[in-house]
Structure formats: C-alpha cells, structure tokens
C-alpha cells in the first residue's frame, strides 16, 4: 500500500472515530435528553462522516488501486495527491471550526480548500484512468 494511502486511510479513520462519537452523543441525547447544546454537534458530525471519512477513504483507496504507469513514476503526479490530502484535512478542520465559532468566512475558506483538494486529486487521477495494458479494446 503506498504511503499516501496509509496517511489518508488513517486520517479517515480518525474522522470516523470523531464523527461516530458525535453521532452517538446526539443519539443518546435524543433518547435521554441532557442538553439542547448537543445539537451543535450535528454539522461537525455531517462534515466528519461525509468529507473526512467517506470522501477521504475513497480518495485513499483510489490512489492505491487505480491503474499505475509502467515507468519510474508509477503513481503519476504524486505531489497532487499529497496536496489533496493536506487541503482536504485543513478544509474539514476550517469548516468545523468556522461552524463552531459562527464565522462564515472560515466555513467558506474551508469549503474552498475542500474543492481545491477534490480538483487536485481529480487532476492527479485523470491520466491513470485507462484500460489495463494489453487488454482488448472495448473489454
Ligand atoms: C458514514 C456514516 C454516517 C453518515 C454518512 C451520516 C450522515 C448524517 C447526516 C447527513 C445527518 C443529517 C441528517 C439531517 O439533518 O436530516 C446525520 C444526522 C445524524 N446522525 Fe449520522 N451519519 C453517519 C453515521 C452515524 C452514526 C454511526 C451515528 C450514531 C452512532 C449517527 C447519528 C446521527 C444522529 C443522531 C443524527 C441527527 C438525526 C436527527 O436529526 O434526529 N450517524 N448523519
């Protein structure tokens, strides 16, 4: 497994842990209400499980399993993948921080980082989306 995949899947697991914990707290609070304040965890929960966990896991695994090149740079422009990793995690942190503090500008900046991350990752992956060598056309 390439190093970037290791980092992405581990980071995704951290998001999963935090996201599920927030979900569980909200669920508990629904069954046995403790405080209405717990509902402030809703948007961080959604951000963590959808972007931090689901999207990042998909990106990490895609980096690993998509067709590789035969030359020296087997994974193509790896720096774009690392940039996506940094931008995505910074984006999630900024969005959650902005939501928590009620700073719309920070939320918007975080979203912009996430969009850049996805764009950079797509740019990295694009040349790797190709039929396997020797495979018959149309197969
Ligand atoms: C990958 C897994 C998950 C995803 C994609 C996910 C996604 C979401 C989304 C999009 C919402 C907002 C729904 C809305 O506002 O209508 C939500 C709400 C919620 N989630 Fe999750 N979630 C996941 C896992 C979990 C887990 C494991 C738990 C509990 C242990 C949980 C507990 C909750 C609760 C309590 C709410 C609030 C529901 C309400 O409005 O009454 N979620 N989740």
CA atoms within 13 A on the CB side of 136: 2
Ligand 1 centre distance from Cα of residue 31 (Å):
15
CA distance 25 to 19: 10
Q: Is 115 in the pocket of ligand 1 (CB under 6 A)?
A: no
pLDDT at residue 134 is higher than 60: no
Extract the tokens encoding 99: 């939501």
Q: Is 24 in the pocket of ligand 1 (CB under 6 A)?
A: yes
Q: Phi/psi of residue 70, each to 5°?
A: -90, -20
CA nearest ligand 1 atom 13, residue: 46
In 3D, which of 61, 67, 60 has the Cα closest to residue 117? Answer: 60
Ligand 1 centre distance from Cα of residue 98 (Å):
20
Average pLDDT over residues 30-45: 97
pLDDT at 67: 94
Q: Is 16 in the pocket of ligand 1 (CB under 6 A)?
A: no
pLDDT at 5: 98
pLDDT at 110: 98
Which atom of ligand 1 is closest in space to residue 16's alpha carbon?
1
For the chain, what is the mean pLDDT? 95
Of 12-21, 68-77, 113-122, minimum mean pLDDT range? 68-77
Extract the tokens encoding 96: 């959650």
pLDDT band at residue 137 under the 50/70/90 scheme: low
CA nearest ligand 1 atom 8, residue: 46
Residue whose entry in the numeric block shows the structure tokens 């996506």:
84
Q: Tens of pLDDT along 72-117? A: 899 999 999 999 999 999 999 999 999 999 999 999 999 999 999 9
Ligand 1 centre distance from Cα of residue 23 (Å):
6
């Amino acid at each position: 497994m390439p190093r970037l995949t290791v980092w992405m899947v581990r980071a995704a697991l951290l998001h999963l842990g935090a996201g599920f914990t927030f979900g569980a707290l909200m669920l508990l609070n629904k069954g046995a209400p403790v405080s209405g304040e717990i509902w402030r965890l809703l948007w961080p929960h959604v951000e963590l499980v959808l972007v931090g966990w689901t999207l990042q896991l998909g990106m990490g695994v895609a980096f690993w399993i998509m067709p590789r090149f035969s030359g020296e740079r087997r994974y193509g422009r790896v720096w774009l993948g690392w940039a996506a990793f940094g931008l995505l995690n910074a984006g999630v942190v900024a969005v959650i921080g902005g939501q928590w503090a009620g700073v719309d500008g920070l939320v918007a900046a975080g979203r912009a980082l996430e969009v850049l991350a996805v764009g950079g990752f797509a740019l990295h992956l694009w040349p790797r989306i190709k039929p396997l060598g020797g495979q018959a056309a149309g197969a």
